Amino acid sequence: MRALAILLAALIALPLAAQDSMPPAPYAYRQLDDPEQEAAAQELMETLRCLKCQSQSIADSDAPMAGDMRHQVRIRIAAGEEPGEIRRWLMDRYGDYVSYQPVMSATTWPLFAVPALLVGIAGLLFWRRFRRRA
Amino acid sequence: MIAEIGLAALWLAAALAVLQLVGGVLALRGGIESELAGLTRPAAILQGGLVAVSFAMLLWVFAITDLSVKLVAMNSHTMKPLIFKLSGAWGNHEGSMLLWVTVMALAGALIAGVERRLPERTMQATLAAQGFVALGFYAFLLLSSNPFERLPQPAVEGLGLNPLLQDIGLALHPPTLYFGYVGLSVAFSFAVGALMTRQVTPDFARAMRPWILGAWVFLTLGITAGSYWAYYELGWGGYWFWDPVENASLMPWLAATALLHSASVLASRDALRVWTIMLGVVAFSMSMLGTFLVRSGILTSVHAFAVDPERGSFILFLLALYIGGALLLFALRAGSINEGERFSVASREGALVVNNVMLSAILAVVLLGTLYPLLTEAFDVRVSVGPPYFNPVGAVFAFPMLAVMAVGPLLRWRKDSWARISKEIALVAALLLAALILCTVLFGTALLPLLGLSFAFAVGVASFLPLKGRNLLRVPIATWGMVIAHFGIAVALFGMASEGAFSQEKLAALEEGGTTAVGPWGVQLESVDPIAGPNWTAMAGQLDVSYKGGEPTRIAPESRNFWAPAQQTTESVLVTRWNGQLYAVMGGENNDGRWQLRLWWKPFVTFIWYGGLLVALGGALALIGRVRVDLRRRSVRRKLAMRRNDEKALA
Amino acid sequence: MNWRLWLPFLIFFGFLGLAAYQLSQPKDEFIKSTMVGKELPYFTLPPASLDRPGVDSRYFHAGGPKLLNIWASWCLPCIAEAPQLERLKEEGVEIVGVAIRDKPSDVMRFLAEHGNPYTRIGRDDLSEVQLGIGSSGVPETFVIDGEGIITYQHIGDIRPEHVPVLLEELRKAEG
Q: Does A25 touch chain C (CB under 8 A)?
A: yes
pLDDT at A131: 66
Is the pLDDT score of B34 beyond 90?
Answer: no
| Residue B155 confidence class, pLDDT cut points 50, 70, 90 | confident
Q: Do the domain assignments include residue C167?
A: yes
pTM greater than the 0.90 cutoff: yes
Q: What one-character-per-residue DSSP string does B50-111 give?
A: HHHHHHHHHHHHHHTT-TTBHHHHHH--TTS-HHHHHHHTTSSHHHHHHHHHHHHHHHHHHH
Contact list, C74 vs chain B (CB under 8 Å): none
- Report the distance separating Cα B347 and Cα B418, nearest Å: 9
The DSSP line for chain C is: --GGGGHHHHHHHHHHHHHHHHHHSPP------TTTTSBPPP-EE-BSSSSS--EEGGGGGSSS-EEEEEE-TT-HHHHHHHHHHHHHHHTT--EEEEEES--HHHHHHHHHHH---EEEEEEETT-HHHHHTT--SSSEEEEE-TTSBEEEEEES---TTHHHHHHHHHHHHH-
Q: Alpha-carbon distance B394 to A34, whole Å?
A: 32
**In this predicted model, which residue has the larger pLDDT, A60 or A81?**
A81
Q: For residues B27 and B40, what is the distance between their CA atoms, to the nearest angstrom?
A: 9
- Say how far apart CA B149 and CA B158 lie, in whole Å: 15
Contact C31 A97 (CB under 8 A): yes
The CATH number given to whatever domain includes residue C134 is: 3.40.30.10
The answer to whether residue C61 sits within a structural domain is yes
Q: How far apart are CA B386 and CA A99, in angstroms?
A: 8
Q: In this structure, which amino acid lies at residue B640?
A: L
Q: Is residue C123 one of the residues assigned to a domain?
A: yes
Helix %, strand %, coil % of chain B (to 5): 65, 10, 25
The tally of domains found in chain C comes to 1
Taking contacts as CB-CB distances below 8 angstroms, the residues of chain C near A71 are 126
* Residues of chain B positioned with their CB less than 8 A from the CB of A90: none
Subunit contact C19:B316, Cβ cutoff 8 A: yes
d(CA C23, CA B378): 11
Q: What is the pLDDT of residues B606-633, one digit of tens each?
A: 999 999 999 999 999 999 999 999 889 8
Identify the three-state secondary structure at position A124: helix
Q: What is the mean pLDDT of residues B226-250?
A: 88
Answer whether the bond into residue A15 is a cis peptide, omega within 30°. no
CA distance B277 to chain C (A): 12
Nearest in space to B91 (alpha carbons), one of B110, B79, B107, B77:
B77
Neighbours of C98 (CB within 10 A): 30
Largest CA distance in chain A: 72
Please write the tens of the pLDDT for every residue from C88-107. 999 999 999 999 999 899 99
Sign of CA dihedral B253, B254, B259, B262: positive
Spatial distance between the Cα atoms of B1 and A119, rounded to a whole number of angstroms: 60
**Chain B, nearest residue to C2 by Cα:** B335
Nearest by CB to C23, from B296, B377, B382: name it.
Answer: B296
Is residue C134 a part of any domain in this protein? yes
What's the CA gap between B314 and B496, in Å, rounded? 38
Strands C95-100 and C118-124: parallel
Smallest CA–CA distance, residue A72 to chain B, in Å, is: 17
Round to whole Å and give the CA distance between B530 and B444: 44
> Considering only CB atoms, which chain B residues are within 8 Å of C23?
296, 298, 309, 312-313, 316
Q: What is the mean pLDDT of residues B351-366?
A: 94
Confidence bin at B564 (pLDDT 50/70/90): low
Distance (Å, rounded) from C-alpha A121 to C-alpha A124?
A: 5
Instruction: Give the integer Cα–Cα distance in Å for B600 and B105.
Output: 46
Chain B environment of A5 (Cβ under 8 Å): 245, 294, 301, 303-305
A68 in contact with C at a CB cutoff of 8 Å?
Answer: yes
* Helix/strand/coil for A1: coil
CA–CA separation, B574 and C34 (whole Å): 42
Coil vs helix vs strand at A20 = coil
B177 contact A CB<8A: yes
Furthest C-alpha separation in chain B: 101
Neighbours of chain B (3+ CB pairs under 8 A): A, C
Which one of B330, B378, B382 has the shortest CB-CB distance to C22? Answer: B378
Q: Which of the four pLDDT bands, split at 50, 70 and 90, describes residue B337?
A: confident
Which chains form contacts with chain C, at 3 or more CB pairs under 8 Å? A, B
CA-nearest residue to A26 within chain B is B590
Contacts with B440 (C-beta within 8 Å, 6 or more apart), sequence order: B450
Radius of gyration, CA atoms only, chain B = 27
Given C5, C9, C19, which is nearest B298 (Cβ)?
A: C19
Give the pLDDT confidence score for residue A60 in this predicted structure: 86
B507-557, pLDDT tens digit by residue? 999 998 999 999 999 999 999 999 988 778 889 999 999 999 889 999 999
Does residue C138 sit within a domain? yes
pLDDT number for residue B165: 65
Q: What are the backbone dihedrals phi and psi of residue C174, each rounded to the nearest 5 degrees, phi first?
A: -70, -40
Task: Please tell me the distance from the alpha carbon of residue B142 to that of residue C150, in angstroms, as a whole number.
Answer: 54
The chain A residue lying nearest C101, using CA atoms, is: A22
- pLDDT tens-digit readout, B252-307: 999 999 999 999 999 999 989 999 999 999 999 999 998 888 888 788 776 655 66
Interchain pair C21, B378: CB under 8 A: yes
Q: What is the pLDDT of residue A12?
A: 38
**CA gap B291, C129 in Å, rounded:** 41
- Are B384 and A10 inside 8 Å of each other by CB? no
State the SS3 of B182-228: HHHHHHHHHHHHHHHHCCCCHHHHHHHHHHHHHHHHHHHHHHHHHHH
Structure letter (DSSP) for residue A48: B
Which residues of B fall within a CB distance of 8 Å from C15?
A: 371
Nearest CB to A107 within list B301, B383, B396: B383
User: Which residues 103-122 in chain A show a CB within 8 A of chain C?
Assistant: none
Does residue C135 belong to any structural domain of this protein? yes
Which residues make Cβ contacts (< 8 Å) with residue B447, sequence separation at least 6? none
C101 vs A52: CA distance, rounded Å: 14
For the ranges B404-413, B589-598, C25-34, which has the lowest average pLDDT? C25-34
Q: Please, which residues 19-78 of chain B have a Cβ atom closer than 8 Å to chain A?
A: none
| Confidence tier at B220 by pLDDT (50, 70, 90) | very high
Dihedral, CA of residue B279, residue B282, residue B288 and residue B290, to nearest 10: -100
Tell me the percentage of chain B whose pLDDT exceeds 70: 97
Backbone Cα Rg of chain A: 20
What span, in angstroms and rounded, lies between the C-alpha atoms of C92 and C105?
A: 28
Helices (H) and strands (E) in chain A, counts: 5, 0
**Is B575 in contact with B520 (CB distance < 8 Å)?**
no
- C103-147 pLDDT, tens digit per residue, is 899 999 999 999 999 999 999 999 999 999 999 888 999 999 989
Q: Helix B309-319 vs helix B273-296: angle between axes, to the nearest 10 degrees?
A: 170
Cis peptide before C77 (omega within 30 of 0): no
Contacts of B449 (CB under 8 A, 6+ apart): B497, B498, B500, B501
Among candidate residues A51, A25, A71, the one with its CA nearest the CA of residue C137 = A51
Q: Do B331 and C9 touch (CB under 8 A)?
A: yes
Judge whether residue C64 has pLDDT over 50: yes
Residue B14 near residue B142, CB atoms below 8 Å: yes
- The residue-averaged pLDDT of A54-58 equals 85
Structural domain that includes position C69: 31-174
Give contacts of B569 with chain A, Cβ < 8 Å: 10
- pLDDT of B305: 56
Three-class DSSP category at A64: helix
Is residue C26 included in any domain, yes or no?
no
Mean pLDDT for chain B overall: 89
The answer as to whether C19 is a domain residue is no
Environment class of residue B79 by beta-carbon count within 10 Å: exposed (0-12), middle (13-18) or buried (19+)? Answer: exposed
pLDDT computed for residue B163 by the predictor: 64
pLDDT digits (tens, 9 = 90+) for A84-133: 999 999 999 998 899 998 888 888 899 999 999 999 988 888 887 766 54
Rounded to a whole number of angstroms, the distance from the CA of A52 to the nearest CA of chain C is 7
Residue B577, phi then psi, degrees to nearest 5: -115, 170
Q: What is the ipTM of this complex?
A: 0.88
Any CB–CB contact under 8 A between C43 and chain A?
Answer: no
What does the pLDDT read at residue A107?
84
Instruction: Mention every residue, 6+ apart, whose C-beta is less than 8 A from residue B332.
Output: none
Answer whether residue B219 shows pLDDT above 90: yes
Helices B168-197, B244-269: inter-axial angle, 10-degree rounding: 40
Burial C137-171 (b: 16+ CB within 10 A, else e): bbbbbbbbbeebbbbbbbbbbbeeebbeebbebbe
Taking an 8 Å cut-off on Cβ atoms, the answer to whether B328 and C9 are in contact is: yes
Gap between the Cα atoms of B93 and B348, Å rounded: 44
C-alpha to C-alpha distance for A107 and A103, rounded to whole angstroms? 9
Strand pairing of B558-562 and B567-571?
A: antiparallel
pLDDT more than 90, % of chain B:
57
Listed range (A77-91, B26-40, B131-145) with the worst mean pLDDT: B26-40
Consecutive H or E run containing B11: helix B2-30
